[in-house]
Chain A
Amino acid sequence: MKKLEKLIIAGAEFHSRLFVGTGKFPSPQVMAEAIEASGSEMVTVALRRVDVNNPEDSTLSALDFSKYRLLPNTSGARNADEAVRLAKLSRAACNTNWIKLEVTPDPNYLLPDGVETLKAAVTLLGLGFIVLPYINADPILAKRLEEAGCATVMPLASPIGSNRGLMTRDQIAIIIEQSRVPVVVDAGLGMPSHAAEAIEMGADAVLVNTAIAIAGKPIAMAEAFKLAIEAAEKVRLADPAGATVFARPSSPLTGFLR
């Protein structure tokens, strides 16, 4: 099992391995309370949803950004050019050079375009951004983005919003094994057990939005994710026994030889 190390992204340390999104909540107040309950220290916000010129924007004004690092995202961008434009707008308006890069040309499954994501990442890194790219669980693309200088890679567990859990488990395992930057499992984690499984597998963090936002009780669900992730961290520290295909009887068959 991969050793649990401090989570440091681009020099910033995070004590919580749960990152959260701000979409789909019933109200800005519930969103703010759920995020508080999640213990998260990084919150991603879709730039298309916020009115950056309006200081009273309901999403931005509901959150206390002295407690959370704001991670603007380029959700809705269909190609590299759009993502880069949005990132520049974000840097000017939100006073941060961190950007969660999302390039999703198809509005239905919102699957990321690897070619355009790499292209946008290279441009943004050249402009001094700290880039956290959302990708399909593609180990080669993950290495290419790491080599380009991205701060993390963020492979999807299953299509965004689907709550289906770690459908890309085997590919994510390869990414975790090979990656030299933090791996944040993003999209599709529908239950706290899915998040725990990702952390147990060796992921450095997870990002959850829909599963919390559309739960009947978002605040309680946020806390459930927090606890599940903390449990998984303890698992990593506990050096678990591991699984085997053979039975291991407590009275071995060869015990008589001793």
Chain B
Amino acid sequence: MSDFFSILTSLDTEQIRRQIEECRVCDVERVLLKGFVDDDELPILFSPAAGLMLEEMARRSAALTLRRFGRVIQLYAPLYLSNECANRCRYCGFAGDLDIPRMTLTPKRAISEGDILHRQGFRHILLVSGESPRHVSMDYLLEVVRGLSGKFASISIELYPMEKEEYQRLAEAGVDGIALYQETYNQVRYLEVHPPGPKRDFRRRLAAIEKGGEASFRSLGVGALLGLTNWRLDAFILALHSRYLMRRFWQSRIAASFPRIREAAGHYAPDYPISDADFVQMICAMRLILPDAELVMSTRESAALRDNLIGLGITRMSAGSRTNPGGYGASPESGGQFEVEDSRTPAEVARAIASKGFEPVFKDFDRAFIR
């Protein structure tokens, strides 16, 4: 099976952009009536015309989500290990050229951060770091994962691109999921926001999630950072990418994420801001296209918006997040990756979920699956 890069480069993006723009409401109605969305129909749901049918899309998205996932929202927390980074991504608070307090947690401190999250009720965690294998080495990661695996039902990673063999070693140590966002699938734009540094290699980044799939991670997380370019085209490719991974790595669950750019230490304002209405359209479209995928939402979004999206398509949320290393412990001296909008505690988020008639779920995996 060819890799997604070759599929991506074979796309006529100009023609797809036109298809999205010129799509009519009757095209949207036809797809919604039919139920299943064929690959060549994906652009339709991201069109301005589909935006005119948002209520209808939302109703279908909610019904699909309810049937497949039930009245539950899964909760997880990110654990930031290091903000050291060799990249200078223009939108990121960890960019190497920013003057922020840098810190890499010792394995001991990482595990004590884990203890705090465990006491808050979390059983699923996501280990996050900037791209700095010098600070966050394989040996370091193995030590951290082994130290945490006794306490957590599920450990995922959002680090930097690695080779299949490295992912296999992490899987053996107890990692079961990977998230690696391409940020944007527009290669011209990608180069503009990623100055020289390891991340500038678009193809290497895109290939890494497939290496994670080959290493048999249970969960494969993809994502686009909204605000870098025309969201409609990027979201369409994100959907296509998700379907590709789903078909190729048919034993893994696909999780899609779509953070909207927020102000970070670099004070980067999004060049292509996406409105709440467009954002909701995108979430509903993703659900209609990917009925079985986890749709993930972080604390970048406001409490009010997050609460309103419960039941609409989102199935997994972070809560109580600190985006700087050591942030869960006492007064850390380290810079954060992005500003958290929803600053409620995990217990407050759980109560908000329950008040919407949903059950907040902290555990939905078991280590017995992998050991």
- The chain A residues found within 8 Å of chain B, CB to CB, are 23-28, 47-51, 58, 76-78, 82, 85-86, 89, 105-109, 161-163, 210, 213-214
Contact = CB atoms under 8 A, between A and B. Distances in A.
Nearest to B370: A82
Interface stretch (B78-86, B256-264, B320-328, B359-367): B359-367
B70 A85 contact: no
The DSSP consensus for interface residues of chain A is loop
Contact of B368 (A25, A89, A108, A109): A89
Given A51-B123, A163-B67, 8 more contacts: A23-B70, A26-B357, A49-B361, A82-B369, A85-B371, A106-B251, A107-B218, A108-B246
A50 B68 contact: no
Given A28-B359, A76-B369, A108-B292, A161 B253 contact: no
Contacts of B251: 78, 105-107
Interface of B: 66-72, 123, 153, 218, 246, 250-253, 291-292, 354, 357-359, 361, 363-366, 368-371
Contacts of A107: 218, 251-253, 292
Contacts of B363: 48-51
Given A27-B354, A161-B67, A214-B70, A48 B369 contact: yes
5 contacts: A24-B70, A24-B71, A25-B70, A25-B359, A108-B250
Given A51-B363, A107-B252, A108-B292, A86 B368 contact: yes
A48 B124 CA distance: 12
A48 B250 contact: no
A162 B368 contact: no
A118 B354 CA distance: 40
A1 B250 CA distance: 41
Contacts of B253: 107
Contacts of B358: 26
A109 B251 CA distance: 11
B248 to A, nearest CB: 13
Contacts of B364: 48-49
B123 A214 contact: no
B359 A26 contact: yes
A197 B67 CA distance: 22
B68 A89 contact: no
Interface centre among A26, A85, A213 (most CB of B within 10 A): A26
A47 B153 CA distance: 11
B294 to A, nearest CB: 10
A58 B72 CA distance: 13
A129 B213 CA distance: 34
Return the 9 tightest CB-CB contacts between A and B, nearest first: A24-B70, A26-B71, A108-B292, A107-B253, A48-B366, A26-B357, A85-B368, A86-B368, A89-B368
B366 A86 contact: yes
A77 B292 CA distance: 17
Nearest to B293: A108
A257 B359 CA distance: 71
A47 B68 CA distance: 19
Contacts of B357: 26-27
Contacts of A82: 368-370
Contacts of B365: 48, 76
Contacts of A25: 70-72, 359
B60 to A, nearest CB: 15
A107 B253 CA distance: 6
A147 B364 CA distance: 34
A13 B67 CA distance: 32
Nearest to B63: A214
Contacts of B292: 107-109
